[in-house]
Structures are given as structure tokens and as C-alpha cells.
């Protein structure tokens, strides 16, 4: 059985909703075990034990969250050259455009020599004031469906041996 590791960080719930939607859809695929883990509880052993990855982070100050960066910092050299060619996708919960956060995840994945198997998903909440930025997020059905599609696609591809 293949394993899909979904690593996420959330502060206001938006990224968690994205990760959970992806995990739920992935669990509907046969032949794949899905591990949904918070970034602060995840490390190199978790990465090595998985066959594919979905990285989900909020955009904080036009970058991936510090907790997600910490996960990559703690894991990077411990898995370097040991996960080459494994599939991944990325999701960003953004207040503005999310492009820089996505670029950062993509650059790290390139260093790990992972294979991107889906375009990055960016859900924009348009939170631009301190009150809206810090408020709990409730994502819409269309945005969560996009996240579910990525999770299902990653899991199906792993189960079928496509990647």
C-alpha cells in the first residue's frame, strides 16, 4: 500500500480546511494510506515513510508560514537524495495572491527532486485588514472542491502506480 503524507500548518483554520478536504478525498481512493500531519509534528522520518506529498501552508507576509518553513528546515538534509522523483502538490491559503509562498514550496521541492503532479492550488481569502487576517476562515465549497480534487488525484496516481 502506498502512503500519501499531507503536511500542513494553519493559524486561522483556512489551510486546515484545505488539507482536510484533500485528505478526505484521498481516503476515498483504494490502495493508499493517508497521513494528515501538522508541520510542527512532522519530520524527516515521516517524509521518508511516504510515497507522495501534499504541502499546505498559509501565506504569511507574502511567504510560506514560519512553521512550514521550520518543517522544511528540520527535514531537508535528512531526506535529500532519498526522495528523488516522488510526486507532490502544494496548496496555499492566501490573503493576497499566494504566488511567493507557492514559489517557495516549489523551490524546496525542486531541491528534493520531487515531481510536481498538479498545479499549485491557491485559495485567496482577500483578508487585508488585521481583523480579517486574524479572523477564523471559512472557505467556500468551490475552493474546497479544488483541494479535494488534488488529494484524490494524488492518491489515485499513487494507487495506480502512475507516479
- How far is the C-alpha of 45 from the C-alpha of 3, rounded, in Å? 13
User: What's the confidence (pLDDT) of residue 115?
Assistant: 98
Set out the domains of the chain in order of their start, with CATH numbers: 2-160 (3.40.50.360)
- Per-residue pLDDT tens for 9-49? 999 999 999 999 999 999 999 999 999 999 999 999 999 99
Output DSSP code: residue 39.
Answer: G
User: What's the confidence (pLDDT) of residue 21?
Assistant: 98
Terminal-to-terminal C-alpha distance of the chain: 14
- Per-residue pLDDT tens for 88-125? 999 999 998 999 999 999 999 999 999 999 999 999 99
Q: Is the pTM of this model over 0.95?
A: yes
User: What's the confidence (pLDDT) of residue 41?
Assistant: 98
Instruction: State the average pLDDT for the chain.
Output: 97
Q: Name, in order, each residue with C-beta under 8 angstroms of 159's C-beta and a sequence gap of 6 or more.
A: 2, 29, 30, 31, 32
Helix (H, G, I), strand (E, B) or coil at 118: coil
Amino acid at each position: 500500500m502506498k502512503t500519501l503524507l499531507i503536511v500542513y500548518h494553519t493559524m486561522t483554520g483556512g489551510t486546515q480546511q484545505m488539507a482536510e478536504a484533500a485528505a478526505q478525498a484521498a481516503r476515498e481512493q483504494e490502495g493508499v494510506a493517508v497521513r494528515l500531519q501538522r508541520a510542527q509534528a512532522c519530520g524527516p522520518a515521516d517524509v521518508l515513510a511516504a510515497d507522495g506529498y501534499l504541502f499546505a501552508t498559509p501565506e504569511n507576509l507574502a511567504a510560506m508560514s514560519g512553521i512550514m518553513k521550520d518543517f522544511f528546515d528540520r527535514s531537508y538534509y535528512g531526506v535529500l537524495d532519498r526522495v528523488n522523483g516522488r510526486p507532490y502538490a502544494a496548496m496555499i491559503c492566501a490573503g493576497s495572491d499566494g504566488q511567493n509562498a507557492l514559489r517557495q514550496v516549489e523551490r524546496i521541492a525542486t531541491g528534493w527532486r520531487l515531481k510536481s503532479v498538479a498545479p499549485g492550488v491557491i485559495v485567496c481569502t482577500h483578508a487585508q485588514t488585521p481583523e480579517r487576517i486574524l479572523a477564523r476562515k471559512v472557505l467556500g465549497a468551490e475552493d474546497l472542491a479544488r483541494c479535494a480534487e488534488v488529494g484524490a488525484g494524488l492518491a489515485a496516481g499513487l494507487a495506480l502506480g502512475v507516479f
